[in-house]
Amino acid sequence: QVQLVESGGGLVQTGGSLRLSCAASGRTFSSYAMAWFRRAPGKEREFVGAITRSGGSTYYTDSVKGRFTISRDNAKNTVALQMNSLKPEDTAVYYCAADRTDYPSWYDYWGQGTQVTISS
């Protein structure tokens, strides 16, 4: 099992940047594919992007391509989401997720989330 704790959320202005981090417990972090999801007010949870276990591949939902970047440090058991050119529609609670397979249809492990608010 793995436990996930997100950090780095906050309030920023439109066009600004924010970096989220997710710290994972356990000694097998590199065995997990990692992803970021978000839930905006009144909407369902949405996939943002993911990174494979090796870190060799990343993929994103269209609305964040070119603005968001996912990276991981398997030595530090962390995954990051760098968010640039932020828009008010990026306002959401952001969740870190993990799964033992690359490109899973769903993720088995979830963090508690961190709030990101973009002011216009």
Instruction: Express the helix, strand and coil content of the chain in percent, nearest 5 each.
Output: 10, 50, 45
**94: which 2 tokens?**
């952001």
- pLDDT tens for residues 72-118? 999 999 999 999 999 999 999 999 999 999 999 999 999 999 999 99
Q: How far apart are CA 86 and CA 70, in angstroms?
A: 15
- pLDDT tens for residues 33-69? 999 999 999 999 999 999 999 999 999 999 999 999 9
Query: What pLDDT, on a 0 to 100 scale, did the predictor assign at position 102?
Result: 94
Q: Give the amino acid at 39.
A: R
Q: Check the CA dihedral 108-51-112-27 and report its sign.
A: positive
Higher pLDDT, 1 or 58: 58
Count of beta carbons in the 10 Å neighbourhood of residue 104 = 15
- pLDDT tens for residues 7-33? 999 999 999 999 999 999 977 999 999
